Structure 1
Amino acid sequence: MSLRWKKVMKSRPAEDTGGDKTPAKHNDVERSSDEGSDSVDQAIICQAEDEGACEITGCVVLNPKSIVVADLWNKSLKLLSTDASKPEVISCLKLECSPFDLTLIPGDKIAVTVPEEEKIVFASIQKEALSLDDAPGKGKRDGFYLHCKSYGINYSDQKLYVVIRKKDNEENYQLLILNVADGPTLKSIPMQQYRGFRYLTICHDKIYMTSDSGTLRFKKRTGDIKFVDKDRFSYGIIEVDGDIIVCNKSRNSVHTVSRSSKLAYFSGRKELLAIPKPLALCYCPDTKRLFVSQSRESGGRANVLTVRQMK
């Protein structure tokens, strides 16, 4: 699959909602299409009725018609429909503390990091309704307690990979590898020499992580760490067919980072999308659509997921 963007007609920016508690107005967001061409510019509303402004810090595609997002500011997980014939917020699960990131794991569960609770909680969907679920394993538990703040999370080969920050130092970040079946730590990799770790994605034997200093690559076998992109304030990151795609708030850009791999379509960095303050992203391989959230700094656009069609 080649990661080429269709030409997009820019939509009018939505009005800045700031941090108020104004009920959602679903007609505030403009949906547009470039008539006479195959351009697409769609916005999926994440703001439920009677909710304040959103900040979507994590998102994951369940299937071609639904997405689950973590709404930091409204302390909730939300099931969203990508089907225009359905209400966009199908289910909203309120949490005691704000979620940050989420990933799919076996058994149709969703693992969610909750920094303030210093744990990973689990959710599932039954009859289009989100609910908290027991942690994996034989014992009935309400999550994995980490005793440290957790941020980006990803699943691969029966393991959970989590960015954590230790209590003793605000810059004491580590990459934690957990057994998905019962939670015991398999490995902890110090990252103190870097600042502001947030998200991660996994591609074969490499782990890519975003931070205030840029995007780093960690090789599982050798333990080698190096920068692959030095643009500061990198946020959401995903892997699509060998390409590593990153959100960068300082550049207002979603772009690929350089990789030496025969799998990667791009040989170096390439900007895919100019968008104000991109924060998190996910991709649906069936429909070849990319979903991007924006921080509250972008104003009313923080209340929607912007959808971009790939060829």
Structure 2
Amino acid sequence: MAVPGKKTLATASTSSDEDLQVYCQPCDEEGPRRPAYGYCTDCQEHLCETCFKVHKKHKLSKHHILLDNESMPKTLQLSSTSDHTSMSADFRTPCPKHKREMIKFYCHDHKTLLCSVCVTLEHTVTSCKVNYIPDISAKVINSKEYHDILKVIDNITDQCHKMLEDVKKMTGNSNSSLADVLADIKTFRKEINQRLDELERQVEDAAKAIQQENAKNLKTTETTCDDVTKSLKTMFDSIKHLNTSKQADRLFMELKSAEKMIRYYENTIQHISAYDVEEYNFKPNEIISTLLETSLGTLTKKTNKQTRPPPTSTSVKSRNTSHQGEICVKSSNDESRCYITGMILLTPDLLIITDKTNKAIKMVDTRSQSVTDKLQLDTEPSKVSSVTSTELAVTLTNKKNIQFISASSKKLTKKHTLNVDGECFGISCHEKKLVVTYLRPAKLQILDTNGTILTTIRGENIFTNPTFVTTNSSSIYVSDWNMKSIMRLNWQGEVIGRYKGMDEPKGIILSDDETVFACDQHRNVIEEISGDLSKGKVVLKDLKSPFALCWCAQTKKLYFSCFFTDTRYDNYLQIFRLS
């Protein structure tokens, strides 16, 4: 039964056309009834235009969220107490930006959840498509979005589980490898200790041997001096007695015997006085001292991929060859026939050679084909390499050192020397690292330009007489005439290739396409060999004991010397163009 002065509120269940229209709820209570113009989400009431405008200005309601006619709910929002309680319970998530407000809206344009303040200040109904969540939430039940989200959650969960298992496995493997590393460190340290103990015993044995020799010499001296002293005392007393007793005949004979014995004793004293008893100091081995300043080793990462050197040439192309003449390299003041053991091109016009028999470094102008400067040495040079565009390094085998030489302003001048621990012979410089071969002991070393030894490679199965060496960024090539082969090593010192098709390999040099030119002195040929040393072919033949060589990439010219013990060949460099 209707109450006088009150209008019944229209609901979504009202059947009349009039009741299907939504009216202003505040006016509906007091009259007159007016059509709804908007909706207040905070009051949960439909408002007519007048109430809508007043609602925006009133102090208590001006921050409420208002939805216009297009966005407002189209049915009267009446809820039972239980429904209202349930709906209120759904909106208990605080807004991240406005902590006192609850999330109730969704912006489709920015795909974000909003509170009433967010809608009012940032996502207004005029700039964004905003919906009241209860108006659009029903359609997400069992929706595609629902199933897609669950699928993504399952996938990420599976990935996390798999990732965790993989990390656990990798961590176990890593810890296991590190346990092996720690064991290897202990073993390595034990080997070092054993070796140091052995070296200590050697020095101690040497010291003890000297002590024993000193003791032996001292004992011999004591015995000899004692015997001589006693004998001379007896002789002294006898001579004095004979003289006192005036026994002239016996005194005469005793004196003559004494002269003979005195000469013998003088020789004996002179002999034992020649014993050289020295004092000693201990001088630590500089190499070991230097090593003790470095780390025991480094940790390197394992890889499942096979480590391979950078690609090198695996083929040898056919070349056209033509003789371009020869250059006489004998200077007017040379005393002997030339023996050109090494050469290097600084520029296409500037060639540096080592003349062993004349103990000289010579600068050769390839344009004028003449020697333009000569640096006289006091010993025989062996091989030469460029360190920079104006600095050279020359091996002095007999002195066991490397002579650095300046080649600036077309003048050769000595710089400093570097002592090495063997009869150095071949030399090549790459990126401030010197690669040096040694005749005795047969080995190869990689050093920095200060002389610090970085790597030593030795072994009868690797070298017996390494002579020439040439290098690039990935490989070291060494000719060993006694083993009749050319070896290729990586910069870690591992042999990664060997070419055995030669009788007496001598000079070797890399071409611009990473093939290797090599002299075979016995067969009188020069071969071109693929960078991986898998194949080779003769490019020049019928030569006169080719020995050292160099290659000019710009002019495609190959220069080489001969060691034929004939001035008609040994005093000249031969020039061939290979195209």
Aligned to 1:109: 391
Tell me the distance in 2 between the aligned counterparts of 1:145 and 1:151: 13
Q: State the Cα distance separating 1:128 from its structure 2 match.
A: 2.0
Q: Deviations over 1:248-298 (max 9, x none)?
A: 10110100224449xxxxx72111111110000011112111100111435
Aligned to 2:365: 81
Q: State the Cα distance separating 1:71 from its structure 2 match.
A: 0.4
Residue 269 (structure 1) aligned to one of 536, 544, 565: 536
Relative to structure 1, is the Cα distance of residues 113 and 3 closer, same or farther in structure 2, using a 3 angstrom cutoff? farther
Task: Name the one with the larger strand percent.
Answer: 1
Give the conservation status (yes or no) of the 8 Å contact 1:199–1:237.
yes
Aligned to 1:163: 437
Tell me the distance in 2 between the aligned counterparts of 1:290 and 1:75: 24
> Which consecutive residues of structure 1, in runs of 5 or more, have no partner in the other structure?
9-39, 134-141, 167-171, 262-266
Give the conservation status (yes or no) of the 8 Å contact 2:340–2:561.
yes
Give the conservation status (yes or no) of the 8 Å contact 1:293–1:302.
yes
Task: Name the one with the larger helix percent.
Answer: 2
Give the conservation status (yes or no) of the 8 Å contact 1:160–1:178.
yes
Q: State the Cα distance separating 1:188 from its structure 2 match.
A: 0.8
CA RMSD, Structure 1 to Structure 2 (Å): 2.2
Identity level (%)? 24
Moved more, 299-308 or 225-234: 225-234
Residue 122 (structure 1) aligned to one of 399, 404, 407: 404
> Which consecutive residues of structure 2, in runs of 5 or more, have no partner in the other structure?
1-312
- Whether 1:175 aligns to 2:444 is yes
- Whether 1:232 aligns to 2:503 is yes
Q: State the Cα distance separating 1:67 from its structure 2 match.
A: 0.2
Tell me the distance in 1 between the aligned counterparts of 2:493 and 2:412: 40
Tell me the distance in 2 between the aligned counterparts of 1:245 and 1:57: 16
Aligned to 2:150: none
Aligned to 2:515: 243
Q: State the Cα distance separating 1:310 from its structure 2 match.
A: 1.9
Relative to structure 1, is the Cα distance of residues 199 and 260 closer, same or farther in structure 2, using a 3 angstrom cutoff? closer
Tell me the distance in 2 between the aligned counterparts of 1:303 and 1:258: 31
Relative to structure 1, is the Cα distance of residues 222 and 41 closer, same or farther in structure 2, using a 3 angstrom cutoff? closer
Moved more, 217-226 or 292-301: 217-226
Residue 54 (structure 1) aligned to one of 338, 363, 384: 338
Tell me the distance in 2 between the aligned counterparts of 1:53 and 1:299: 6
Relative to structure 1, is the Cα distance of residues 225 and 173 closer, same or farther in structure 2, using a 3 angstrom cutoff? farther
Q: State the Cα distance separating 1:217 from its structure 2 match.
A: 1.6
Give the conservation status (yes or no) of the 8 Å contact 1:228–1:258.
no
- Whether 1:310 aligns to 2:578 is yes
Aligned to 2:250: none
Aligned to 2:377: 95
Q: Quick one: which amino acid aligns to residue 333 of structure 2?
A: D
Aligned to 2:528: 256
Aligned to 1:19: none
Give the conservation status (yes or no) of the 8 Å contact 1:173–1:197.
yes
Give the conservation status (yes or no) of the 8 Å contact 1:174–1:192.
no
Q: Superposition pairs for residues 271-290 of structure 1, below 5 Å?
A: 271-274=538-541, 275-290=543-558
Q: State the Cα distance separating 1:204 from its structure 2 match.
A: 3.3
Tell me the distance in 1 between the aligned counterparts of 2:550 and 2:492: 27
Q: Quick one: which amino acid aligns to residue 209 of structure 1?
A: V
Q: Deviations over 1:59-79 (max 9, x none)?
A: 000111110000011000000
SS of structure 2 residue aligned to 1:300: helix
- TM-score when normalising by structure 2: 0.43
Aligned to 1:65: 349
Tell me the distance in 2 between the aligned counterparts of 1:185 and 1:233: 29
Aligned to 1:45: 328
Aligned to 1:36: none
Q: Quick one: which amino acid aligns to residue 519 of structure 2?
A: C
Q: State the Cα distance separating 1:122 from its structure 2 match.
A: 0.8
Q: Aligned residue pairs: how many?
A: 259
Tell me the distance in 2 between the aligned counterparts of 1:225 and 1:215: 11
Q: Deviations over 1:209-244 (max 9, x none)?
A: 101222112233471355212423210001112101
Give the conservation status (yes or no) of the 8 Å contact 1:277–1:298.
no
Query: Between Structure 1 and Structure 2, whose CA radius of gyration is higher?
Result: 2
Residue 195 (structure 1) aligned to one of 441, 448, 464: 464
Q: Quick one: which amino acid aligns to residue 115 of structure 1?
A: T
Give the conservation status (yes or no) of the 8 Å contact 2:346–2:389.
no
Give the conservation status (yes or no) of the 8 Å contact 2:439–2:465.
no
Give the conservation status (yes or no) of the 8 Å contact 1:229–1:258.
no
Q: State the Cα distance separating 1:119 from its structure 2 match.
A: 0.2
SS of structure 1 residue aligned to 2:565: helix
